[in-house]
Structure 1
Amino acid sequence: MRNESRISKAAARILIAALALACAASNSFGAGASVTAVLDNSETGVGQPVQLQIKVTGSTSVKPPRELAVDGLDIRFTGQSQLLEGRNFQFSYSYIYNYTVMPMKAGTFKIPPQTIEAGGSTLRTPELTLHVADSPGQSSRPNRSGENIDPRQIAFVELILSKTSAYVGEMVPAVVRLGFNVRTPVESLGNGVEITGQGFTAQKMREPRQAIETIGGKTYQTFTFKTALSPARSGKIAIGPVEVNPIVRIPRTSRSPGIPRDLFDMNDPFMDNFFRDPAFAPSTPREIKMKSEAATLDVKALPPGAPPSFNGAVGNFTMTVDAKPKTAQVGDPFTLTAKISGRGNFDRVTAPSLEDEQGWHKYPPSADFKSDDDVGISGAKTFETVISANERKDHIPAQLFAYFDPIKEQYVTLRNEPIPVRVEGGSAPTQAPVAPAPQTAAPAPSLARTGPKQQEILHQITELSAEPQSFTPLFARRSFWLAQLAPFLVLLGFITWRIRRAHLDNRDARRREALQHEAAALQRSLRREDVSPQEYFSRASRAVQLKTALARNVDPNAVDADVAASAFRADEATRRRLQQLFEKSDEARYSGGQNGIRLLPPDVRNEVLELIDNLRA
């Protein structure tokens, strides 16, 4: 009996709802269409938006205006909703079109009547007046929608570090998480998300991952940003807070008296929640200020005793090396391809160095990085380095790459086996001996004639030679070509010797050309304004090394501040400036990523350029 009673009540509700909708439809279609337009506030200030609503009742075929042009006002369509109203079983179905009106200047503005086509008839909205003061505080009726809203009640922001202790230069993954209550949907994240603080750098954040989550019984729209931090100094570093100023839509608390709590007075919570849903109520966009709690990172300095090939890489890496071709002449290039894979601060991963560079000339490498994650701390970096041998070689020396492993807390040096190659070259080929021309056989002695001499019948014909004569042309004879081979071999040996001599003489010219090309590229990059201080000082010190190498014909990698000052006979002030430049370049080795670092001031950049330009032999 109890089940039958429940079924009867449910059927009654369904029947009543169907009748109500039928009555609403009949009343809506039976009555003529009407339109109203209202502003939620007739007075506001410059930069303070108000909401315009156009409500069309009694028609299901409506074409509202999409653009409203008023000088001094920025009016934009923000969406539409539907409303079912009922009173004494008299129902009406309406469409509500929402617009945001943003005042651009002070004054009194008239929003002219708008023409709307509804159900084959033409409707016109009333003219509306909006008074805009110079500032929000001068408005006699300020918009109070959401004035007392606590951002912590509708949204949250948090900063999560993967660890609280790290080494200088180590990449620390971090997550920034934003959440907004679905009843106050977010329109934009303002100027974006930024992690404030000093003493560290942060990787650039990519597009966030969005999701709908239930937290503490409330439903939130969440945005998850991933990044990685790299501390630049030891000690305790404050990370954050994260500051963000999003724009959210705050529902207005006033409700239409025509919407009852329970349409059928059956104490049905579904009906109450349906009509109280903020999606059916007008809302106002508002900027809120959010700030997370700061985090603390305990940073340890790298231990002493770093290997010579260490350039600041911190993490865990592996290395593979290959060389092509396997055979070449002295001075011809080999291409070394080194691939370093793993996880760490790849911006400090540099090309491996040769274990023994004696007899080899090395050119600046190229690099290509491919990331395996969202923040660029895992992947593979490939270097291509061109080297050439100055003498005969049977192998390419081993490659060395050093890094610091923060898990093992020790330095690790990767070394590959020497690569077997064959470098040929040397003296010109020796002259091949000329084969002696074949000697003709001595004529056989004529046999003594026996018997009396016969009387010649034709006395005009002389006696034929005892040796047979050949009619083969001279150029077809083997002895002729053997005689020509000797000068040809001499000429070939001379040409080979000249080419080899020119190749050896041109080695220094090729080296200078490569250094000049690199120096010119660095000079152009030093005049750019979008280079971080760390990268700028590193390039500037390299430019000094190249300029010194070109002036004194030395290896640029062996040039330091003292060598450069001596090469250009610099005074004491210039020597100190060079030492400061190289010190700042060395400090940049442990600074991690470059994102988030401010740009170098123009006056400092000009001083560095002036210092380099004034270095003259």
Structure 2
Amino acid sequence: MRQQQSILWQSLACLVLLGLCLFGPGTLPASAEVQVEASLSSLSFPQDRAARLTITITGTSRTADIALPEIDNIQLRSQGTSSQISMVNGDFSSSVMHNYLVQADKPGKYTIPPLKVTAGGESLTTQPIRFEVTPGGQQPGAYPTPTRQDGGQIAFIRISPTGSHYPGEIVPFTIKAYFNQAYRVEDIKPPTLRGDGVVMSQLSDQPQQTEESVKGRMYHVLTWETNLSGIKAGEHPISFSLDATLRIPQKRRVLSPFGGSGFFDDSFFNDPAIDSFFGSAERKPIVSVSPETVFTVMDLPTADQPENFTGAIGDFTLNVRATPVEVEVGEPITLTMEISGTGNFDRVEAPAFPENPDWKTYSPSAKFSNQAKSYTGTKIFEQAIVAKNAAATEIPPLSFSYFDPQQRRYITKTSKHLAVHIQKTAASAIASPVQPVPAATPAQSRSAAPASPAPGIGGGLAPIHLEAGSYHARIVPLFAKSWFLTLCAVCTLLLLTVFGLAIRRRNIEKNPEIERKKHKRLLLENDLKQIERAQAAGDGPSFLALSKTAIQNQLGWLWNIEPAALSLADIKSRLSENTDLLEIFQAADEAAYGGASLTDEKMQEYFTTLKKKLEELS
């Protein structure tokens, strides 16, 4: 069936092309003007990369003869040709593009002289092109030296050196995936870490895209900037793998309706562009694996380790301030502690307030704001403190300790004393005595001005009406008048209409709580699917890691806590009776450090229990 459809499509393609050949000459001029243009993809590029030179010949569908010049320290490599046919307002036009890679042996300013092109029986020349080659942008020693196997591969991975580090230390790391431009690769997945004892932060879905030359071949390069962190001491072999799909175009076989080879075997009908349009492609999955490297994790020194050290590793500063500084006894003061720098902020905790009989403290809140890199930023803690009496005159110093991997020693940052003014609680205000109003003296009474006559007296009387006005049988109050009742009815009806529309609009709008529960259910379904796939593959470590993530996601939503911040201690304090989830979570933690394996029966038992308990929580 597929073969019959393929033959049918190929026959239709032949008929269409035959029609173009028969009726095309009426619209395509017999002697179309041939034009030649040369362009360079970049007029400035580094030495370790290349630019693309394109020579476009318009007015012909045939290839042309191009005389390539010899330029000192410049190499021109052919990358094939492509053709294009377009129709505008019934007029056909065709063009052929010759592609070359321009590579330089050393930096400098160069010029591509006019190129002589012979096409359509005419000899034409292009305009000269001036360009500059800058020194290579890759730093010496930043990446391993290319191996002999790198050249010519469809894809390969290079990684930056690892070195020796401490548990929990954030290590900037670079992964570069190279894809040969001679092949078409699609559906590229981010690299995954292979190995135990080391964790990697999540990779971006939009890596940096560049081009590089390796052993004379051009490669598309995807670069991911990420972080690695060791979780236990030792030497951990690690590598990175990447999944992608290789698209292999299938050669289109043109069947001549007249049999044998003939007009339809012309090179025009065998053009790669036409093959790509009418042909098909085979997709083949490929996996690229980086060379294995060793990530060494050293134990933190135990000598001189401060008591308040919580595992923070990096380089930090401490800034403490209090507002307001003038309060009454019992009024709260906000203590703001800012820890800025570079390191593992997930292990940075608020400095402990020293025990003091004059102060009462509350639990601090935390907020982290990072910069372009996730391991650089500021973590702000806000803590409410209350003075118990007026004897408190200052806030004692606070200290924060961390380990500096560059200096290989512990450092303690201590804040200064903060002066405050605590006032006693104000007593009830005493009412001020009312001053008596002095009585007026007889002289003041005599000197007082006479009272003004009441209005209407004398010339202020209303005029006398000689005719009687209209008479009313009875006085009707406003609320009993018909027009007033009608107005009230209209207003009431309008109010009810507006109220009904408001209720209808509120019912139409999505309920945030319903949406939140829906998202929670979808998240649980996705987590369970991933866990089930890991179970089917028999991957015990992945099964436990995904189970831990599912528990964190559901409990984080339930308790309104960042899922990644939930630890075994947090879950024990809140789920004292739910031993099943605690058992699975503890097994996942132990597997992350010890690499324990699970049997198929144990994974099935864990999966059934996990699904039941998490569905009950949702």
TM-score where L is the length of structure 1: 0.47
Q: Which has the larger radius of gyration?
A: 1
Question: Greater relative contact order (Cα 8 A, min sep 6): structure 1 or 2?
Answer: 1
TM-score where L is the length of structure 2: 0.47
